[in-house]
Amino acid sequence: MFLKATIPDQSGKEAIAGMAIWVQLSTVEGYGDVSKMDLVESLQLNTLYPDDESSQKFLCQVIKSLTRQRKEVVKEAASRDPPAIMALDLCAVDPAFQRKGVAGELVQWGLNEAKKRGGLEAVTEASKKGRSVYARLGFKQEGEEIDYVLDEEFKERVMPSNIFMRTGYSKTTA
């Protein structure tokens, strides 16, 4: 699900204030996007970095490190009813519209959708800027800061601070 938040600008036209990407994931066919389980495999690396094997390799290592805990939770969910989770892949807000509740609305939409879909757990990999929004909406940090497992050639690169956050599973009955 691709969400776009718009706000009327001074001329009355709609300005894009933010956006989010939510995806339902499962290892069980028919309950979520199985193809997105391994984000690295679903990327078209040569399109992103044509003929640049080093950048492709770096991106693969970063994404595998970033989504390691998410994949574990998706596997855990296979024994639940329904056997899926909701994952917030991306939430971004234009700096001109930050601190106006836009991110909160985009995140809340996904949480509401997770509830409608049978009380699915929601997860995300949170940057420093997003953590307070996610925490306010019920996400809890699990573990320490994400450790990026990188080959020696990439060890000197500065990596962003991210943590894994999840809401916990809460089966709802209709």
In this structure, of 36-45, 95-104, 118-127, the range with the lowest mean pLDDT score is: 36-45
Average pLDDT, integer, range 115-132: 95
What is the pLDDT, as a whole number, of residue 174? Answer: 40
User: What pTM was computed for the model?
Assistant: 0.88
pLDDT of residue 173: 44
88 token code pair? 């917030």
Mean pLDDT of 108-137: 96
Nearest to 165 by CA among 106, 109, 111, 94: 111
With contact defined as beta carbons under 8 Å apart, do 84 and 25 qualify?
yes
More confident residue, 118 or 169: 118
